[in-house]
Amino acid sequence: MGIVSPGFQGRRRTSDPALPPGQYLTEDFPVLSAGPTPRIPLDRWEFVLSTETGDEVRWSWAELMELPQETPTVDIHCVTRWSKFGTSWQGVSLDVLLDGVDTAADYAQAHSYGGYTTNLPLDDLRDGQAWVVHGYDGEPLPAEHGGPARLLVPHLYFWKSAKWVRGLRLTVEDEPGFWETAGYHDYGDPWREQRYQGD
């Protein structure tokens, strides 16, 4: 099975100051995945937040839906150089999920159904910068784009927005995830073109 969706419409060049260096605009939403697409029934889905001391907070799908919902509209930037402006999502801010969690951690590692992981500084998940999203463009998030729920961290390259997210493990030390151990940058700032280690 290919990892890039057919029908990718190509590049639209622009000098738009909202476009990070080395990126091009697309109207499409390309599908790139490191493996097969997991299919998680909603009655078995859960999101688990675990701290560095082993304490856990869990939300079922129904409980996630009862939390305050937001509808961020953001630009997204893939490390493969495409960018898409004005994407519309629905989900729960990480501020809500982290509220009241007692932690001394500086980092988080996102874990996905299917085994994918990625690392992020905890500060990049707070202050309205990140969400667990379950809707895209007014519809439930399709599985090929990470549904039923994915992480959304739009200020970093999109591999940091883990598809099929099932939880966050908070850590004191930075622990590289799937792509980071394969040579991708630990942080991934598109404005600094942090694609690979050493960038």
| Dihedral pair phi/psi, residue 144, rounded to 5° | -65, -20
Task: Give the position of tokens 């990892």.
Answer: 3
| Residue closest to 106 by CA, chosen among 193, 187, 195 | 187
Q: What is the pLDDT of residue 34?
A: 67
Q: What is the pLDDT of residue 199?
A: 85
Within the chain, how many helices (H) and strands (E) appear? 3, 11
Task: Give the position of tokens 């519309």.
Answer: 88
Q: What is the pLDDT of residue 6?
A: 41
Structure tokens at 162: 């883990």
Q: What is the pLDDT of residue 17?
A: 86
The domain locations on the chain are 24-31+40-192
Q: What is the pLDDT of residue 184?
A: 96
Q: What is the pLDDT of residue 1?
A: 37
Residue 147: other Cβ atoms inside 10 A? 21
Q: What is the pLDDT of residue 32?
A: 75
Q: For residues 158 and 95, what is the distance between their CA atoms, to the nearest angstrom? A: 20
Structure tokens at 80: 């493969």
Coil, helix or strand for 68?
A: coil
Fold of 24-31+40-192: Sulfite Oxidase; Chain A, domain 2 (3.90.420)
Q: What is the pLDDT of residue 9?
A: 44
Q: What is the pLDDT of residue 8?
A: 40
Q: What is the pLDDT of residue 5?
A: 41
The residue ranges of the chain whose pLDDT is under 70 are: 1-15, 34
